[in-house]
Structure 1
Amino acid sequence: MTTAEELTRQRSVDEPASSGCPFSPEIRRFTNDIVSLHSRLSFGRLPQALDGPPLYLSGDTGDGLLTVTMRESQLPARYMNGILGFRLAQYLKLGLISDELVYQEALFHEPASKPHTVENLHTVTLDANSGRIVGYIGLVCSLDDKPMPLDSPRRSRFPSESAHHVDLVSRFAAPDVSSHQVYEIKRFVRDVEMERGDQRWRVPWHLILGLGSAVVVAGDEFRLFLGDSKEHGALRHFRLIGFDPVVIENTEPKLPRSELMWPSYTQEVNAKPFVALRPEDLDSYMRVIRTGIAADSGQSERELAARLSAQRRAREPGGRGSQQTAEET
Structure 2
Amino acid sequence: MAEASSRFSFARLDTNLIAPPVYMSAGIDGSLTIVARGDHIPLRYRRAMHAFRFAQYWKLGFLDRNLVGIDEYAAEVAGAPPGREYHTMVLDRASGYAAAYVYMTLPDPAASGVPFTLEKEYDVTVGETVAKGMGRDRTWEAKRLVRRIGIPWSDLARNAPWWALLGLSFLTVRLWENGELESFVADGAREGSPQMFEHLGFAVDCSEERPRSENASGPYGPMWRQERIPVAYSCMTYRDHESHLRRVETLLKGNRGMSVRKQLSAWRQDD
- The answer to whether the superposition gives a TM-score over 0.5 is yes
1:44/1:126 contact within 8 Å kept: yes
Query: Are 2:180 and 1:229 aligned?
Result: no
Match of 2:57 among 76, 86, 91: 91
Displacement after TM superposition at 1:252 (Å): 3.8
Which range moves more in the overlay, 178-187 or 81-90?
A: 178-187
Distance 2:217 2:209 in 1: 24
Root-mean-square deviation (CA), in Å? Answer: 2.6
Distance 2:56 2:75 in 1: 11
Displacement after TM superposition at 1:247 (Å): 1.5
Query: Are 2:136 and 1:169 aligned?
Result: no
Q: How does 1:27-38 map to 2 (within 5 A)?
A: 34-38=1-5
Displacement after TM superposition at 1:173 (Å): 6.0
Residue in 2 that maps onto 1:69: 35
Q: How does 1:231-270 map to 2 (within 5 A)?
A: 231-255=190-214, 260-270=219-229
Query: Are 2:84 and 1:119 aligned?
Result: yes
Kindly provide the amino acid, as one letter, of the partner of residue 44 in structure 1: A
Unaligned runs of 5+ in 1: 1-33, 149-153, 315-329
1:97/1:264 contact within 8 Å kept: yes
Residue in 1 that maps onto 2:98: 133
Relative to structure 1, the CA distance from residue 57 to residue 180 in structure 2 (aligned partners, 3 Å threshold; closer, same or farther) is same
Match of 2:172 among 215, 235, 238: 215
Match of 1:306 among 256, 265, 270: 265
Displacement after TM superposition at 1:302 (Å): 4.6
Higher strand share: 2
Relative to structure 1, the CA distance from residue 296 to residue 254 in structure 2 (aligned partners, 3 Å threshold; closer, same or farther) is closer
Distance 2:73 2:132 in 1: 38
Relative to structure 1, the CA distance from residue 231 to residue 45 in structure 2 (aligned partners, 3 Å threshold; closer, same or farther) is same
Corresponding pairs, count: 268
Displacement after TM superposition at 1:307 (Å): 4.8
Q: What SS is found at the alignment partner of 1:67?
A: strand
Structure label with greater radius of gyration: 1
1:168/1:274 contact within 8 Å kept: no
1:288/1:308 contact within 8 Å kept: no
Q: What SS is found at the alignment partner of 1:293?
A: helix
2:183/2:235 contact within 8 Å kept: yes
Percent identity, please. 27
Distance 1:119 1:243 in 2: 22
